[in-house]
Structure 1
């Protein structure tokens, strides 16, 4: 299910967005300020963000800059600011689209769908290279020193989630939710077992991993040493 984060300081707009998105099959979470939005992203990466610029704490552009420092998640700005300078600044900082208030719901949802499709196309050639290991995530093909390495579908799913946020921490609950779905947020033993299997197949020294790094009690990250 596609996960959308809606960020706006107007509860009525958040309620409207939530109702309409859920009615169309989206998983939705809302945030009324910038810090809450970044906390949501830290805990679970959305597939798209609808972002107001006029937030009560961090300005929306500041939130956008923070997001772009570690993710290319699609961001559709929804703002009452009509001035071209505001639009140009938001787009220059990495917004995928800009919709002004008052807005037409169908148009906004079409823009969100389009941004998600473009992001999917951009990820179509996701390849990770670390030393003698090459992971073609799209084709689900792994090699180590030129030799084929077989990963199971579940192992590939874990690798894909980590690769999409390469170098960034993915929390245990988010990884479990992405791979196994709702209701598995506490099954951290699953992650220990599968990460051990992945390391045995891909790491030169599985007991001292250099690619699949554990942040004890918090989560995992995929890094690419030379």
Structure 2
């Protein structure tokens, strides 16, 4: 599988190693060393590998601008920042994935292939899924609540579509990570929680108040999540919790 990759990395040693390795796997790679140059080069790529420690712009801000300008592009943060708060901030800024240096090249290639494969597969034919007033059109990659469109990032849409495929079914964290991200996922599943929080917020923003026809993403503590229709009293917060 080939693809167009933009590497935004200021460290010359890391940049050279990654560029050489990716090209050896038939990827088309463009390497930029600053945030500004990366933003300027992001118009026609499939995936961005983004370092957060850049010399000119904060990498989190670069991520936000990339997401606004290229909503369909996969953004993978590749950084030495390993604290949980850094992971959350990066994901909330729009990243689809977060890898901490040093990263094994085999793992990096597996993640890249998984992301690109899922983006390609998303364009295939699939049914329109409706859960109450929520409609998910997988073929057109559009979702809405009561006729009001949800503006979702790529992985947010994929996660919502997976939940809507089996409404009222408890889906484990492992199942969701495997089906939406990668069957060989390494490391923390915090990315799942961040994307669920974003979906809850966005559904709540467009949902009519006190509507029992808008589904909620229910937390199943110690297990995973379930998409189900809530009761009218649940709608102001946009969520329900099961067991917390």
Q: Distance in 2 between matches of 1:127 and 1:101?
A: 33
Instruction: Compute the TM-score of the two structures, normalised by the length of structure 2.
Output: 0.49
Aligned to 2:31: 30
- Which secondary structure does the structure 2 equivalent of 1:86 belong to? helix
- Which secondary structure does the structure 2 equivalent of 1:29 belong to? strand
Q: Confirm whether residue 88 of structure 1 aligns to residue 88 of structure 2.
A: yes
Q: 1:121 to 1:19 in 2, by over 3 A?
A: same
Q: How does 1:183-202 map to 2 (within 5 A)?
A: none
Q: Confirm whether residue 112 of structure 1 aligns to residue 97 of structure 2.
A: no
Q: Post-superposition shift, 1:118?
A: 2.4
Q: Distance in 2 between matches of 1:126 and 1:58?
A: 35
Q: Post-superposition shift, 1:40?
A: 0.8
Structure 2: stretches of 5+ with no match in the other structure: 125-138, 143-244
Mapped contact 2:61–2:93 kept (Cα < 8 A): no
Q: 1:103 to 1:40 in 2, by over 3 A?
A: same
Q: 1:9 to 1:93 in 2, by over 3 A?
A: same
Aligned to 1:143: none
Q: Distance in 2 between matches of 1:102 and 1:127?
A: 35
Q: Distance in 1 between matches of 2:99 and 2:3?
A: 21
Q: How does 1:96-175 map to 2 (within 5 A)?
A: 96-124=96-124, 125-126=139-140
- Which secondary structure does the structure 2 equivalent of 1:103 belong to? coil
Summarize deviations over 1:132-153 as a string: whole Å, max 9, x none: xxxxxxxxxxxxxxxxxxxxxx
Q: Post-superposition shift, 1:120?
A: 2.3
Q: Post-superposition shift, 1:127?
A: 7.4
Q: Post-superposition shift, 1:119?
A: 2.2
Aligned to 1:79: 79
Structure 1: stretches of 5+ with no match in the other structure: 129-226
Instruction: Compute the TM-score of the two structures, normalised by the length of structure 1.
Output: 0.53
Q: Post-superposition shift, 1:101?
A: 0.7
Q: How many residues align?
A: 126
Mapped contact 1:7–1:34 kept (Cα < 8 A): yes
Alpha-carbon RMSD: 1.7
Q: 1:123 to 1:95 in 2, by over 3 A?
A: farther
Q: Post-superposition shift, 1:65?
A: 0.5
Aligned to 1:67: 66
Aligned to 1:14: 15
Aligned to 2:41: 40
Mapped contact 1:38–1:63 kept (Cα < 8 A): yes
Q: Post-superposition shift, 1:91?
A: 1.0
Q: 1:123 to 1:86 in 2, by over 3 A?
A: farther
Mapped contact 1:76–1:115 kept (Cα < 8 A): no
Q: Distance in 1 between matches of 2:123 and 2:64?
A: 21
Mapped contact 1:97–1:115 kept (Cα < 8 A): no
Superposition misfits of 4+ residues, deviation over 3 angstroms: 121-124
